[in-house]
């Protein structure tokens, strides 16, 4: 996919990796990603935490004369202590234990982006991106194991589409149900491999409403 109609996502991730191998927080990841986009195409403007309807905030909006892209980020970490070889910064990443909620919230991002992209008069594509060093997110679970987040699994090769329900044994929790209009086959990509336990980082990008030819944005149509 292309961000704001011009910048390939793969190029952004390559640019990001060349400068940063690991991030302190989700906000750190968001900021670094935004500036990687801007470095690759200075004509693309980037805005963090853009307010939408219903008092919701979009993590990042990228826009220019060739289109705009709405982006939601997730940075979910397992415990890792080490140094970024590119910057010599020391990192002490804490472990986020609730992988079921990580999966749920990533699917929530996809559903939100579908809604954002079809609202308004301006053609918009979207990107839900997850960066993690927790291998349980990209690895498929044992086939005999049933969990409440079964339909929200995001492992490599997984297909997400239609109605996704939270819970099992008939005990669905409607507030967590999501209905996806798109059809997404998930493909994980390597980001970096650092020394120590949990040093392998991978990323998952899900394009939403990917546009072949984004419409031209007039300045007064930006959110």
* Strand positions, DSSP E, the chain: 2-3, 7-8, 45-51, 57-64, 67-76, 80-83, 90-93, 124-132, 159-164, 178-185, 188-193, 200-208
How confident is the model over 83-106, as pLDDT tens digits? 999 999 999 999 988 999 999 999
**The predicted structure's pLDDT at residue 51:** 85
Q: Is 222 strand, coil or helix?
A: coil
What's the structural domain count of the chain? 1
Q: Give the CA dihedral 165, 168, 171, 175, nearest 10 degrees.
A: -30
Measured CA to CA in angstroms, residue 207 lies from 15, 79, 129, 170, 188 at distances of 19, 29, 9, 31, 13
What's the whole-number average pLDDT of the chain? 89
How confident is the model over 103-115, as pLDDT tens digits? 999 999 999 999 9
Residue 178: phi and psi, rounded to 5, are: -135, 140
The boundaries of the domain holding residue 204 are 2-221
Strand partners, 72: 128
Burial environment of residue 46 by CB neighbours within 10 A (0 to 12, 13 to 18, 19 or more): buried
CA atoms within 13 A on the CB side of 55: 0
**The predicted structure's pLDDT at residue 55:** 75
* Lowest mean pLDDT across 57-66, 69-78, 127-136, 168-177: 168-177
Using a pLDDT cut of 70, give the percent of the chain over it. 91
**Closest of 108, 96, 74 to residue 205, by C-alpha:** 74
């Amino acid at each position: 996919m292309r961000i704001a109609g011009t910048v390939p996502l793969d190029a952004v991730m390559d640019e990001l990796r060349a400068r940063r191998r690991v991030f302190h927080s989700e906000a750190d990841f968001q900021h670094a990603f935004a500036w990687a986009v801007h470095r690759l195409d200075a004509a693309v403007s980037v805005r963090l935490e853009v307010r939408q309807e219903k008092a919701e905030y979009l993590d990042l909006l990228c826009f220019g004369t060739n289109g705009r892209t709405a982006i939601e980020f997730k940075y979910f970490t397992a415990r890792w202590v080490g140094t970024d070889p590119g910057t010599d910064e020391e990192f002490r990443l804490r472990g986020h234990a609730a992988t079921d909620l990580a999966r749920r919230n990533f699917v929530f991002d996809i559903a939100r982006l579908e809604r954002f992209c079809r609202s308004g008069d301006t053609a918009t594509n979207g990107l839900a991106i997850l960066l993690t060093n927790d291998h349980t997110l990209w690895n498929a679970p044992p086939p005999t194991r049933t969990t409440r987040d079964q339909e929200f699994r995001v492992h490599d090769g997984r297909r997400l589409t239609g109605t996704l329900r939270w819970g099992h044994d008939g005990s669905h929790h409607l507030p967590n149900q999501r209905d996806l209009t798109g059809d997404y086959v998930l493909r994980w990509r390597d980001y970096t491999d650092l020394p120590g336990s949990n040093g392998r980082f991978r990323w998952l990008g899900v394009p939403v409403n990917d546009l072949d030819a984004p419409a031209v944005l007039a300045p007064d149509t930006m959110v």
